[in-house]
Every structure is written in C-alpha cells, then in structure tokens.
Amino acid sequence: MKKIVTTFILIAVSVFCTAQEPPYIPETDPAVIQKLEQWKDLKFGLLMHWGTYSQWGIVESWSLCSEDEPWCTRKIKNYMDYCRAYTNLKTTFNPTRFDPDKWASAAAAAGMKYVVFTTKHHDGFCMFDTKQTDYKITDAGCPFHLNPKANIAKEVFDSFRKKGLWAGAYFSKPDWHSNDYWAEEWATPNRNVNYDIKKYPERWQRFCACTYNQIEELMSQYGKIDILWLDGGWVSASNNQDINMTAIAGMARKYQPGLIVVDRAVPGKYENYRTPEQQVPSAPPGYPWETCMTMATSWSYVQDDIYKPTNQLIHLLVDIVAKGGNFLLNIGPSPEGELADTAYARLKEIGDWMKINGEAIYKTRPIPPYKNGKTCFTSLPDGTIYLIYLADQNETVMPEFIDVKGFLPLKESGIELLGRKDNLKWVSAGNDLRITIPKDYRNHPPCKHAWAFRVTLNQRKR
Ligand code: GLC
C-alpha cells in the first residue's frame, strides 16, 4: 500500500512539475541547430526599445491598452484623446542625433555579440520602411523621413553587423494600430484582437497577410538577419489567434537559412530558445535560453532612469552564463537618438572586465555545481574550468584565501588568475578547494567586480 501511495505521489509531483512548464521542443533543422550552438557561444547581446513613445518618456506601447495595469497610466484622461495624441507622436519624432555606429561601437567594446532591435512594437509604429502601412518612420508625415538614415532598422542592423555583431529583429505580432487587429468599430477591452475571428475570417486573414508581408520585408531587404524575436505571445494558435507560424517561419528561413526563431512564450517548434524576462532561473533549465533585462528600470527611454550598477550587471552576466544562458541587456535610446551617459559608462566598464575575463564567458558551457555561494563555474570543451568569484561592490582587495565549496580540481591541475600569469597555490580540504592569493595580487587585483580563475591540467598549460 505504502509503495502505491509513494508511486502515486511521485506521479502527481511529476505531472505537477511538467504542468508548470511545457516541454521545450528541440529543433530538427540541422542549419538551425548549428546556428543555435553558435548563438550559445555569444553570451551577451543588446536589446533596444525605441519608438515614438520615447518622446514622452513613457512605457512602450502599453498606455494604449485598456488593461488596468500600472504601466498603462495615461497623461491625458480621455482615452480617445490620448490615443490620438499618442498616434500623433509620429508627426514629431525626429531623432536627429541618431548615430547607430556610435551605439554599435559601444556595444562591441562592451563585449556584446548581437543586437535585438524593435522593428515594430505593439503600438504598430514601424521603425522600418514597410509597404504595408504608412504608420512608419519613413512616411512623409514623420519629420525624420527626409533624413538619409530614415530607415532606422536597416541602419541599426548595418552598423552592428559592421562591428561583427549578429542582427536580431524584435517584431510584435500584435499590432494595435492595425484596423484588422483592433478594429475601429469596437472597443478594445484588453491586449487581444477585439473581434471574433471566426465571425470575421477575412479580416483576420488580412491581418495575417500583413504580418507575413512585414516579416518578409524584414527577412528579404535588411541583409543577414540571425534572430527573429517575436513578441506578444498571446497571438498564438493555442489562444485562437493563429497567424500560421509554419508559413512565416518557412518563408523567413528561405531568405535566412538557419534563422533562429523565437516565438516568445509560445511553447513549440518556433520557440528555439526561451526568454525569461527580468529574471535569472535559479538552476540551469536544460534548454537554450536568454534572460532579457533592462539596464535601467524601463525598456523604453525614461529621463533620469536609474541604471543598475556595473557590479550587479557583471554578476548577472556571470550567473546567467554559469547556468547556460545568454544575457540580452536592454537600453532605450532617447527621442533625439542618444544613449544616456550612464549607459555608455556601464558598457565601458563591462568591456574593461570582459577584456580580462572574456575567456571565462564566451563559448563556455555550464558545469556543475554551476553556482555555489559567491562562486560561479563555467567550462570549455577542452576541459578547462573557470571559477568566477563574485566580489561585492566595495570588495576591492582580494581575500587571502578563496574557498570554493563543492569543487575539487584534479590533483595535477594548475590554477591561475585571469589577468595574471603565475600558478597559484591551492589545497583541498574535504570536498572543498582553497586557493591562496599572494599578497601582491590581493592589493592589486587585475579587475573589479569578479575574479576568474582558470583551472587546467599542468601538462596542457597555455
Ligand atoms: C515586456 C513588456 C514589453 C517588452 C518586453 C521585452 O513583455 O511588456 O513591452 O517589449 O517585455 O522583453
């Protein structure tokens, strides 16, 4: 009887656990599988939310939505008046200081390897020269259309590619400007399509065609695109808003073989990796994943926004990489087209750290115990293991001993501190490792924020 009860409990627990998170569906296209492996090597990318909303310094798109959420607050009480004013932001958007080469240089120097840029957010404003709508940056009604860099998404992708970064297109499936998604005849109670698509199938088909065409434009006219990052997971077959992802992904990969498709929060074939938002999983999830997170507090530009300290950003990166993920860090450009000085300062400091410690980050794969106390672990296929000690904000002097719990190197291993050359003394104590830090290292660490140790077998010393 006891056995039966135990079995029952075990089954119940496993059902409960799987119910919590739907299974990841592995990719079968060899070109995509290969690309995903390469993507896992990159570790660090830049996400950018930019649109006409940046002029008001408000949250992207969401204030158009009637859901009663704190991020939907409006500065004009009357909803219809508000929507008109918001839509009109197109007529004043003129980011004359837009200089994507400058952004790309700063991102590259920070060690970022890919960019994901908002080609269209939920509000429907296109930051690219689409033929499907005139609600776009290149329309005659938008002052920026005369600028030689008017096709903003193209300029962004070109600049970042020139610096060797991959290009990722953020694209919102929901389009709140489209009369075929939020039809003008009816009120819009929430983020969803505002009519019954079974009753108006042609209307829904028009919306699907527009979505398909816009994605086709992006995939065929904007050079090499590596990632199609689709937001708005409520537009999905399981939520009765089927836009035919099979057709979209098939078309996209005809132009861009091996393209990584991220149909966010829609578990299935087209979610090549998962995207926890503003959080880091407590343990490696065992599938490809990426944390997207704001460098400040908002995805979009907010004046005097508060930026996370460099120490925290580096610790997040290390924690994410140790668990096998990538870090997609977001910065929202200003209405003029600039990044805040603080954002540049953070990128510079992360870059300084990466110059010394990049080998413990890029191309690594997770290794148990992943993270233990203040130490994170990464590894390379050749057997090298890195221990990365997360130093506190004001911990600028190294301790005499670094104790690493639950990890023992092979007897003949050598341990070096990245940024220094000598082999360090180490001993084992039970299951734990103790590294002795020489005095001169202690007072002059090679960097701030986190110290990385390379563990190799001596005979394979570099
Ligand atoms: C959240 C926001 C959305 C933003 C996204 C980025 O879902 O609501 O506006 O684009 O995060 O990950």
Same domain, 372 and 334: no
What pTM was computed for the model?
Answer: 0.95
Distance from C-alpha of 438 to C-alpha of 415, rounded to nearest angstrom: 13
Do 418 and 454 touch, CB atoms closer than 8 A?
Answer: yes
**Residue 44 located in a structural domain:** yes
Give the ligand 1 atom nearest the CA of 170.
10
CA distance 233 to 349: 35
Decide which of 314, 331, 360 is a domain's last residue. Answer: 360
Residue 60 Cβ < 6 Å to ligand 1: yes
Count of other CB atoms within 10 angstroms of residue 60: 24
Indicate which residue's Cα is closest to atom 8 of ligand 1: 62
CA–CA separation, 120 and 126 (whole Å): 5
Instruction: Tell me which of 299, 300, 327, 329 to substitute to probe ligand 1's pocket, judged by most ligand atoms within 8 Å of the beta carbon.
Output: 299
* Ligand 1 binding pocket includes 292 (Cβ within 6 Å): yes
Maximum distance among all alpha carbons in the chain? 79
* From 231, 274, 328, mutation site for ligand 1 pocket: most ligand atoms within 8 A of C-beta: 231
Pocket flag, ligand 1, residue 451 (CB < 6 Å) = no
Q: Which helix (H) or strand (E) holds 184?
A: none
Distance CA 257, CA 454 (A): 37
152 & 63 share domain: yes
Closest CA to 174 of 219, 236, 218, 131: 236
| Same domain assignment for residues 347 and 371 | no
Compute, in angstroms, the gap from residue 56 CA to the centroid of ligand 1.
Answer: 18
The reply to whether 387 and 282 lie within a common domain is: no
Work out the burial of residue 5: count CB atoms within 10 Å of its CB; fewer than 13 is exposed, 13-18 middle, 19 or more buried. exposed
pLDDT, position 458: 61
Same domain, 383 and 339: no
Radius of gyration of the chain (CA): 24
- The neighbouring-strand residues paired with 326 are 290
Q: Which ligand 1 atom is at minimum distance from the Cα of 71?
A: 8
Q: How many residues does the chain have?
A: 462
299 CB near ligand 1 (under 6 Å): yes
Predicted local distance difference test score (pLDDT) of residue 167:
99
Last residue of a domain, one of 316, 340, 360: 360
Q: Are 167 and 160 in contact (CB under 8 A)?
A: yes
Is residue 322 located within the same domain as residue 439? no
Q: Are residues 184 and 103 in the same domain?
A: yes
Task: Output the CA 202–ligand 1 centroid distance in Å.
Answer: 29
Tell me: cis bond preceding 369? Omega within 30 of 0 counts.
yes
Give the distance (Å) from ligand 1 centre to CA of residue 331. Answer: 13
Q: Of all atoms in ligand 1, which is nearest to the CA of residue 264?
A: 12
Q: Which ligand 1 atom sits closest to the C-alpha of 292?
A: 12
What atom of ligand 1 comes closest to residue 277's alpha carbon? 12
Q: Which residues pair with 379 in a beta bridge?
A: 365, 385
Q: Determine the distance separating the centroid of ligand 1 and the alpha carbon of 150, expressed in angstroms.
A: 25
Cα–Cα dist 381/365, whole Å: 8
Residue nearest to atom 1 of ligand 1 (CA): 277
Same domain, 382 and 344: no
Q: Cα-flanking dihedrals φ and ψ of residue 84, to 5°?
A: -60, -45
Whether ligand 1 lies within 6 angstroms of the CB of 67 is answered as no
Whole-Å CA distances, 393 to 47, 314, 396, 418: 25, 11, 8, 19
Burial category of 30 from C-beta neighbours within 10 Å (exposed 0-12, middle 13-18, buried 19 and up): exposed
Residue 17: per-residue pLDDT: 44
Residue range of the domain that includes 423: 365-456
Does 386 share its domain with 346?
no
Element (DSSP H or E) covering residue 153: helix 152-162
Query: Residue 427: which CATH number?
Result: 2.60.40.1180
310 contact partners, CB below 8 Å, separation of at least 6: 346, 349, 350, 353, 448, 449
Instruction: Please tell me whether residues 219 and 241 are part of one structural domain.
Output: yes
305 lines ligand 1 (CB under 6 A): no
Ligand 1 near 176 CB (within 6 A): no
Query: Which ligand 1 atom lies nearest to the CA of residue 59?
Result: 9
CATH number at residue 200: 3.20.20.80
Q: What is the pLDDT of residue 10?
A: 45
In a domain? residue 11: no
Contact criterion met (CB below 8 Å) for 393 and 311: yes
Per-residue pLDDT at 20:
79
The predicted-structure confidence for 29-50, as pLDDT tens digits, reads as follows 999 999 999 999 999 999 999 9
Q: In angstroms, what is the span from residue 167 Cα to ligand 1's centroid? A: 19
* pLDDT of amino acid 19: 55
Sheet with 385-390, strands from edge to edge, namely 365-372, 375-379, 385-390, 450-457, 413-417
CA dist 414 and 461 (Å) reads 8
Instruction: Note whether residue 18 is domain-resident.
Output: no
Which residues of the chain are under the pLDDT cut of 50?
A: 1-2, 6-7, 9-18, 459-462
* Domain stop point among 326, 360, 394: 360
Instruction: Answer whether residue 324 is part of any domain.
Output: yes
* Pairwise CA distance, residues 172 & 229, whole Å: 8
The tokens for 306 are 């508060």
Task: Look up residue 449 and give its DSSP letter.
Answer: S
Give yes or no: residues 232 and 255 share one domain: yes
**Domain count across the chain:** 2
Ligand 1, atom 9, residue with closest C-alpha: 60
Residue 462 lies in a domain: no
Q: What is the pLDDT of residue 42?
A: 98
Residues 95 and 211 in one domain: yes
**End-to-end Cα separation, the chain, in angstroms:** 60
Q: Per the domain annotation, does 258 fall within a domain?
A: yes
For 180-240, list the strands marked E by DSSP: 227-231
Residue 4 placed within a domain? no
CA–CA distance, 434 with 405 (Å, rounded to integer): 9
Q: Helix (H, G, I), strand (E, B), or coil: what is residue 441? A: helix
Q: For atom 11 of ligand 1, which residue has the closest CA?
A: 277
